[in-house]
Structure 1
Amino acid sequence: MTERTINVIREAFTEPDEFTSSPLYRALSRTVAAEERLLALAARGRAGQYPTFLFFGAVHQLLLAGAEHQLACYYPSVAGPDALAPDEAAGPALLDFCLRHETELTGLISTRLVQTNHVQRALGLRIGLAEIARHTDAPVHLIEVGTSAGLNLRFDRYGYTLGGRRYGDPASPVQLVAALHGPDTLPDLDALPATASVHGVDLNPVDVRAQADRRWLEALVWPENLDQRRLLAAALDLVAADPPRVLRGDAVDVLPALAAELPPGEPRVVFHSATRLHVPLDRRAAFDAAITAVGTAGPLWWLCVEDGPDPDPRPAASRRDRVGSALRLRDPDGDDHTLAVVEGHLRWVETLQADPDDSSRLEGDEEGRFAR
């Protein structure tokens, strides 16, 4: 393990901007960043895995499985409403827990993948499909890369409330609610293209019917996000009754064969959210090329939620109050459009001022962002 690797891990824990709704993880991150033994443990994950998510997911899984320790008192997911707010004792508790359970944690960190299933992100897929429906009335072949348990692929079985307006199935046990901001209107989210086929691709597909896999997904939900935990459980139960087809393997290797199965000339949609950041830097160009190649034999719509808009076209107040990611769509002509800026878990959507000339090329830069 090189000093450079440890420094990269330390940097991730020093400024954990991703934990916007987890005061506990923000507090515990400071302990990890300052403790070499914890950094060495966190560095045992596979290449490309985001260390903060993987490390805290492993700790959380052991606590959810019943490991008894003072650290559990700080986790609302374990201690319930009596959970303690993070204080000066939380950091030492984390260190002691990790040293006591180093073997189990090493096993989880070195073998598991970060496979967050924020079912709320199905809203981003639905918005993208509604936009695609404005340009084609043909059935589409839907592929999600990094699909994990395939929850987003059952987007058509959920109910949605966006800005007070309802879409989808009002009787579904999975109801997704998001705030709506911005000057423009969205397309009708009930006017969607038919789906000719649905496929997922994942390095390590999650079996929604396996208790161990479900527990790992639950552990990846931050301890304070109790509503998200309940939503995840409802979605897992729904999808377990009819799981979509998910192919195991690296998208770089799997997508060409999958694309060859699709009827020539028929449109296909590739969707991914918070997936590309887990692809090792030296594989990202190949990742992008594999997605692009899906369009060799038919029109390709490439939809993603990965990075923030750059530049951010929103007013200064929006940029200050709502830091979000771009919901981007590349059309079959190769033109790219930012459909909206969204909260990373799609808790809110902000539309942008309509601009008929809003198109540019998306190129993957050395940091893995989509550079505009």
Structure 2
Amino acid sequence: MTATIMSDDHRERVRRAFVAPGEFTTSPLYRALSRTVADEEALLDLAASGRSGQYPTFLFFGAVHHLLLTGPQDPLGAYFPSVVGPDAEALPAEEAGPALVAFCARYEAELRALVADRLVQTNQVQRSLGLRFGLAAMAEEIAATSDRPVHLVEVGASAGLNLRFDRYGYRLGGRSFGDAASPVQLEAELLGDGVLPDLDALPALASVQGVDLSPVDVRAPEDREWLKALVWPENHDQRLLLTAALDVVAGDPPPILRGDAIDVLPGLAASLPPGEPRVVYHSATRMHVPAHRLAAFDAAIAGLGESGPLWWLSVEDAPHPDPRPDPSRGGAALRLRGPDGSSRDLAVVEGHLRWLETLPTR
């Protein structure tokens, strides 16, 4: 393989990401292959060649998966449940390392191009549940502030799947919400003793708008295949759900601005009618922002509130401090910052919104 010059610090950061990849909770294959990458300098070199801020494990395995799903057959595919199909048994994950090394040697140029050009992007339509829950939780507060409909902005919108949250059905805590006839039905386990808001009592929307570094065209086969490649190989049901959501959104794609949120949001803020309420949502987006740009990213989002009341909803970090009696489940905070600048955690959620734990109202 062709070597790329990189700093020792950068290489070590990438290596650490593969040494303990706690994010792959539902992918034994990626956990096993991560150890191979951590031990192979040539694979680390490939994984480290992405854009600044991109999480190397997601990006590298997304590129490998994409080639396996769209390219010629390769022996590595026999270890991927997504390649062999749900009705066949993949080869043992623990034995896949040598096949990965050989695959990366054969397709180095293609992998390097994908890692350098593509981004890790939202493909978890299940995260629409976090947006809907948040909107329901803030509905009364918004109504008390303004009688105008809300302008919804998603940062890191990818294909705009979350922005079409109103086209899906939901099931949570034995109750159904949303569109019962939709081909996209999202179900999550409900935990906790907090109050579940009425997910059908939502503020009216005046507009929806996405922002993304590299928007995904839901009507372009190559873009759709990239999002599917970002689904972990074992998650067959999620892949089917993503395909259904892409089909729904392709019928009416939401507008998505191309560009860095830091650069794009000031202009978007200026275009919103003064005084009208706005909600910004981002999920697993801030984690991909380079550390030296985080303050500017946060300031750009806060700037949406300079000309009108802003509710800032996010799914990014673990709650701190964790208010739950038993925090061993882990999870991220569904966090809401209101127009007065105060923040509160509405719930704790699994990163892909497979479960949601409500919190007592303070």
Q: Same fold (TM over 0.5)?
A: yes
Match of 2:153 in 1: 143
Separation (CA, whole Å) in 1 of partners of 2:231 and 2:259: 24
Match of 2:301 in 1: 291
Per-residue CA deviation, residues 95-142 of structure 1 (Å, 9 max, x unaligned), is 110111100000000000001310000000001100111212231100
Match of 2:29 in 1: 24
SS of alignment partner, residue 135 of structure 1? helix
The alpha-carbon deviation at position 85 of structure 1 amounts to 4.7
* Equivalences for residues 102-251 of structure 1 within 5 A: 102-137=108-143, 138-251=148-261
Per-residue CA deviation, residues 282-315 of structure 1 (Å, 9 max, x unaligned), is 1110000000010000000000000111111111
Contact 1:341 1:350 in 2 (8 A): yes
SS of alignment partner, residue 210 of structure 2? strand
Match of 2:38 in 1: 33
Match of 2:19 in 1: 14
Matching residue within 70, 76, 94 for 1:71: 76
SS of alignment partner, residue 305 of structure 2? coil
SS of alignment partner, residue 219 of structure 2? coil
The alpha-carbon deviation at position 86 of structure 1 amounts to 3.1
TM-score (norm 2): 0.96
Matching residue within 322, 326, 348 for 1:341: 348
SS of alignment partner, residue 276 of structure 2? coil
Contact 1:182 1:350 in 2 (8 A): yes
The alpha-carbon deviation at position 163 of structure 1 amounts to 1.4
1:326 aligns with 2:333: yes
Contact 2:76 2:99 in 1 (8 A): yes
| Over 6 Å off, 4+ runs | none
Identity %: 68
1:47 aligns with 2:52: yes
1:101 aligns with 2:107: yes
Separation (CA, whole Å) in 2 of partners of 1:338 and 1:205: 29
1:58 aligns with 2:63: yes
SS of alignment partner, residue 344 of structure 2? strand
The alpha-carbon deviation at position 248 of structure 1 amounts to 0.3
The alpha-carbon deviation at position 82 of structure 1 amounts to 2.2
Change (3 A) 1:354 1:31: same
Separation (CA, whole Å) in 1 of partners of 2:89 and 2:341: 50
Change (3 A) 1:118 1:87: closer
The alpha-carbon deviation at position 88 of structure 1 amounts to 4.3
Contact 1:144 1:270 in 2 (8 A): yes
Contact 1:341 1:349 in 2 (8 A): yes
The alpha-carbon deviation at position 69 of structure 1 amounts to 1.6
Match of 1:301 in 2: 311
Separation (CA, whole Å) in 2 of partners of 1:67 and 1:12: 29
Separation (CA, whole Å) in 2 of partners of 1:156 and 1:77: 29
Separation (CA, whole Å) in 2 of partners of 1:87 and 1:109: 23
Contact 2:149 2:205 in 1 (8 A): yes
Contact 1:23 1:86 in 2 (8 A): no
Contact 1:174 1:234 in 2 (8 A): yes
Separation (CA, whole Å) in 1 of partners of 2:60 and 2:200: 39
Separation (CA, whole Å) in 1 of partners of 2:122 and 2:34: 19
Separation (CA, whole Å) in 2 of partners of 1:12 and 1:335: 33
Over the aligned positions, Cα root-mean-square deviation in angstroms equals 0.9
Contact 2:54 2:119 in 1 (8 A): yes
Separation (CA, whole Å) in 1 of partners of 2:356 and 2:151: 25
The alpha-carbon deviation at position 87 of structure 1 amounts to 4.3
Contact 1:200 1:246 in 2 (8 A): yes
Change (3 A) 1:206 1:87: closer
Contact 1:16 1:26 in 2 (8 A): yes
Structure 2 letter corresponding to 1:341 = V
Separation (CA, whole Å) in 1 of partners of 2:92 and 2:285: 30
Q: Which runs of 5+ in 1 are unaligned?
A: 356-372
Contact 1:130 1:190 in 2 (8 A): yes
TM-score (norm 1): 0.93
Q: Which runs of 5+ in 2 are unaligned?
A: 1-5
Aligned length: 352
Separation (CA, whole Å) in 1 of partners of 2:278 and 2:351: 25
SS of alignment partner, residue 142 of structure 1? strand
